[in-house]
Structure 1
Amino acid sequence: MKPTLQFKLSQHLTLTPQLQQSIRLLQLSTVELNQEIERIVQENPLLELEDSVSSDASEYRTTLLDSPAELLSADLLGTPGEIPAEMSASELDSGTKNLGDESDWFEGDAAFRNSRDDDDDRDFPQQAAEPPSLREYLNSQVSLSQMPERDRKIVGLLIDSLNDDGYLAQDLEELVSLLPPELGIGINDLHIALGYLQHLDPPGVGARNLQECLIMQLHALPEDTPYREQALLLVNNHLDSLASRDFCTIKKLLPCDDECLRSIRRMITSLNPRPGTAFSSTVARYIIPDVIVTKVNGSWIANLNPEAMPRLKINRLYADILKCSHDDSARRLVSQLHEAKWLIKNVHQRFGTILKVSSAVVERQRQFFEHGAVAMRPLILREIADVLDLHESTISRVTTQKFMRTPRGIFELKYFFSSHVATDTGGACSATAIRALIKQIVNAENAKKPLSDGRISEILGQQGIMVARRTVAKYRESVQIPPVNLRKSF
């Protein structure tokens, strides 16, 4: 083909690096945001992260929470290639820092200034010793036993094969096939070692299934324990009937009366089905709420959590060096200075957007804060997007992994958005409110005659909420309410 020249006119979306950073920071959770900022601070010498936070919450609200709406007037997904303008002078009067003023970048936000204790001789709290793991605990018992060295090593092999719950999930035959033949360990050796292991503390460790675990714990009880033999008989032969709550069949098979069965069931449910979990070193992960909702003079108000916002400022030392230097080596510092300014602005913009969305959600869900989940109204992302003149995808980013602390608990912002079900009056009821109503109905039911999903659907219909039986079953499972046969008592 002969080469030719052609003119083509087209449109495409171009996002500047600054706008891309704004979008990326907006969708990060608080933990991810702090990790990202720590990484950037390590790479950019012009940025500095303060360690202290001001205890004056009113000052924080003045400088950040009460800033004018112009701070976020530009939608993050607005005009292609558009960069948000610098803050106006009116924002400076209301307490928000003017990003174009060089002198204000060194002191940090007024909310984050705090007197630093210069005493380096402070006493640091002593850290508690880490508790032993399950394997360490079992190996310490084996080392104190009088068994031969070879048997100790075989028991140690089985200990290393236990899972976190304390079960020996691997079959002994399979374990023998994996061992080198020169060790001379047979299946009988493993059975003997397993017997040693199952007599160690805690009771139930080394079991191969739930039934064996419960039996081992029942055998560990004193022989004169009331109903111990009946409990052993029930676990050995009728554990499935107990799981399905077939109490009538159990009373015929044992035999026993209601009081005897209650005592047996109470004894079995007091056992530990996972004896190894007491030694697991799970670390609790705490949620840092981005927004705190309080009631002030009869109105529900959303405020940003000062502890959740990173405290960034420009490093004065490097900025002074940049002012005094005019050679080519300072060009990189100039670029990093602009990057530092944009990061600080984007962090402020992120939390300002979160505050705007949270305030709009609180305004529409006032009844939830007053009366609980049963009063939750239907709400969709587009409704908030239309009110705030933002893109729906922006609202989705804001409400993902962002948390709100309320007098009723800590909730993800997405919790306040739910679908709706029509009522017989032509209105709508949110799915969250229906789940709460199902909880109330189940909690108030007769444990001896629990309500079926169909009956719950009829009760909701009597309240004007038209919900099918299958929908009730779906909502019931979502709040982890067992089916009717597993809720039955005696």
Structure 2
Amino acid sequence: MKLGVSLRTSQNLALTPQLQQSIRLLQLSTLEMQQEVEQMLDENPFLEVQDEAAETEAFGVAQADAPVVPGEQLSERAGESERSGEAAEAETPTTDLPSDWEGDGSIDVAADDGEWGGDALARGSGSSGSGGSDEDVDAADIKGAHVSLTDFLHAQAGEFFLDAADRCALDYLIESLNEDGYLEDDLQDLALPLARSVEEVDELLHHFQLALNLLHNMEPAGVGARSLAECLQLQIRAIERSEDFEGDFRALEVARLVCAQPLELLARRDIRQLAQLTGASQDEVRTALLFTARLEPKPGRRFADVERNVIVPDVIVRPSGRGSAASREFTVRLNPEVMPRLKVHEVYANALRGNAGGGELQQRLQEARWFIKNIQQRFDTILRVSQAIVERQKNFFIHGEMAMRPMVLREIADELGLHESTISRVTTAKYMDTPHGTFELKYFFGSGLDTETGGSASSTAVRALIKQLIAAENPQKPLSDSKISDLLKEQGIECARRTVAKYREAMRIAPANLRKSL
């Protein structure tokens, strides 16, 4: 092995902590960014939330200004006059600083440490613009008002006169139900861990069986079933016992027989096979299928405590002016409700300026300024990308999804001078409120399908066209995927049958045999 000294040059990309934080904030969703802001507020003493509305500075995003109606504008001017009068009477504090003070070494930040996003609403400040009206509903109140399936069943169980053992067995079964209201475990499996001997197993099974019979007679009908077939049969039995039922009991009987057959036949609507197995006529089976279609396969659905993630748009798009549709323009602005109003704590920053040392504190102050700057850059980038999307997809905002044009990430990246990965981060988990609804920014990107004219049609527009064709079809003769493909070709769009099936399944539309009306 020969040792030697060599000299070579190379280029390496070093990601500074500030750049790493900027990239990470860019890919966060609105909820994740709010959590990041809260964590930073807890960890960094130089960062705080601006409680009162301040004047918008050059450090913020000018495009984020929300329009004010004339009535609110007059009230705001009156409030500003009162605040200016109070400020004139108050004593203005002064801070003695060295005349040669040049800052603390921060770069690329404004001279003022004022808040950014001054028009945004502080979280928890109560200044939502509604004036604390009764329409504001707290999330804790909604959660407290929710009644779970187990609570609903326990309330009914309290009306039964049972001994201690049967009451415990019924409560145990109620707590063993899944969120859909099904009892997934076998009674034997439930009894074995609780028994200390073989005799106790038999005794527990007796109590569990009695409790299960009571559970099957409780509301909602079908609760406590071990299978879908049993759930449907329990609902049919509950309808038979109902005093309000005035229908055909023969249809209920056939429906019970149909539910006892393999559910694959019920899903395929195989009327001929079901008629042979049940001994009923095809018309009776057809009526029974119509009846079973109205039953609830998941009795606990309406009691499920589903976490409702309300989508808060990051960008709001509204038409401007009253011109014709072809010449209509759209304004794009950031949603002030998702923009945190942050600023550097002036008291702590001023105290640190008079201290020559404090290297660690200087670093924390720098981190606070970096964080505010990166938050600003995040929203600036989102706004720029959104404006480019609206400009390229203008026909969508005028005519709807049928007018969507093909577009890929590289088009926006080349136009804005950004990397394609940056556009991908911006359009992920960011939402735009449009006149046609709220959509993720990724929704406006899609591949294209060839047309007879040599152009291309957006896959989003093709999906919308497929949905329109299915909505207008004859229920007695629904369109097959092949027929839809032929209809698209008649309109100049080359779309294979498999592509139609893929788009249909993505829109959760059933195939033709299941869409056929009985």
What TM-score do you get using the length of structure 1 for normalisation? Answer: 0.83
Greater displacement, 452-461 / 221-230: 221-230
Aligned to 1:106: 114
Q: State the distance in 1 between where 2:442 and 2:44 align.
A: 34
Distance 1:53 1:130, change over 3 A: farther
1:309 positional shift? 0.9
Aligned to 2:11: 11
Aligned length: 450
Please list the CA deviations of residues 379-406 of structure 1 after superposition, one character each: whole Å capped at 9, or x if unmatched: 0001111111111111111111110000
Instruction: State whether residues 133 and 281 of structure 1, in contact with CA within 8 Å, keep that contact through their aligned partners in structure 2.
Output: yes
1:8 positional shift? 4.9
Distance 1:451 1:438, change over 3 A: same
Greater displacement, 384-393 / 44-53: 44-53
1:244 positional shift? 2.1
Q: State the distance in 2 between where 1:51 and 1:169 align.
A: 52
Please list the CA deviations of residues 116-153 of structure 1 after superposition, one character each: whole Å capped at 9, or x if unmatched: 899xxx99989464333222332233333222211222
Aligned to 1:29: 29
Instruction: Tell whether 2:150 aligns with 1:135.
Output: yes
1:366 positional shift? 0.8
Aligned to 1:337: 365
1:62 positional shift? 11
Within 5 Å, give how 1:413-424 maps onto structure 2: 413-424=441-452
Greater displacement, 386-395 / 212-221: 212-221
Aligned counterpart in structure 2 of residue 449 of structure 1, from 440, 453, 477 = 477
Q: State the distance in 1 between where 2:121 and 2:499 align.
A: 53
Unmatched 5+ stretches in structure 1: 68-83, 87-98
Aligned to 1:76: none
1:369 positional shift? 1.0
Instruction: State whether residues 379 and 417 of structure 1, in contact with CA within 8 Å, keep that contact through their aligned partners in structure 2.
Output: yes
Letter aligned with residue 233 of structure 2? I
Please list the CA deviations of residues 73-95 of structure 1 after superposition, one character each: whole Å capped at 9, or x if unmatched: xxxxxxxxxxx973xxxxxxxxx
Aligned to 1:274: 298
Instruction: State whether residues 405 and 457 of structure 2, in contact with CA within 8 Å, keep that contact through their aligned partners in structure 1.
Output: yes
Q: State the distance in 1 between where 2:219 and 2:231 align.
A: 12
Aligned counterpart in structure 2 of residue 184 of structure 1, from 180, 193, 200 = 200
Please list the CA deviations of residues 361-384 of structure 1 after superposition, one character each: whole Å capped at 9, or x if unmatched: 111101111111111100000111
Aligned to 2:173: 158
Instruction: Tell whether 2:437 aligns with 1:409.
Output: yes
| Percentage of identical aligned residues | 45
Please list the CA deviations of residues 93-115 of structure 1 after superposition, one character each: whole Å capped at 9, or x if unmatched: xxxxxx330xx21355543489x
Q: State the distance in 2 between where 1:109 and 1:368 align.
A: 30
Q: State the distance in 2 between where 1:246 and 1:52 align.
A: 67
Within 5 Å, give how 1:462-481 maps onto structure 2: 462-481=490-509
Aligned counterpart in structure 1 of residue 463 of structure 2, from 435, 440, 453 = 435
Aligned to 1:306: 336
Aligned to 2:41: 41
1:299 positional shift? 0.4
Please list the CA deviations of residues 405-445 of structure 1 after superposition, one character each: whole Å capped at 9, or x if unmatched: 00101000000001111111111011111110100110111
What TM-score do you get using the length of structure 2 for normalisation? Answer: 0.79
Instruction: State whether residues 215 and 235 of structure 1, in contact with CA within 8 Å, keep that contact through their aligned partners in structure 2.
Output: yes
Aligned to 1:20: 20
Distance 1:471 1:52, change over 3 A: farther
Instruction: State whether residues 379 and 418 of structure 1, in contact with CA within 8 Å, keep that contact through their aligned partners in structure 2.
Output: yes
Q: State the distance in 1 between where 2:7 and 2:307 align.
A: 62
Q: State the distance in 2 between where 1:481 and 1:362 align.
A: 29
Q: State the distance in 2 between where 1:85 and 1:302 align.
A: 30
Aligned to 2:416: 388
Within 5 Å, give how 1:199-214 maps onto structure 2: 199-214=217-232
1:453 positional shift? 0.5
Aligned to 1:64: 61
Q: State the distance in 1 between where 2:447 and 2:41 align.
A: 42
Aligned to 1:96: none
Distance 1:107 1:34, change over 3 A: closer
Q: State the distance in 2 between where 1:451 and 1:369 align.
A: 30
Distance 1:62 1:488, change over 3 A: farther
Letter aligned with residue 152 of structure 1? R
Q: State the distance in 1 between where 2:236 and 2:43 align.
A: 60
Instruction: State whether residues 482 and 497 of structure 2, in contact with CA within 8 Å, keep that contact through their aligned partners in structure 1.
Output: yes
Q: CA RMSD in A?
A: 3.1
Aligned counterpart in structure 1 of residue 317 of structure 2, from 281, 285, 293 = 293
1:280 positional shift? 2.1
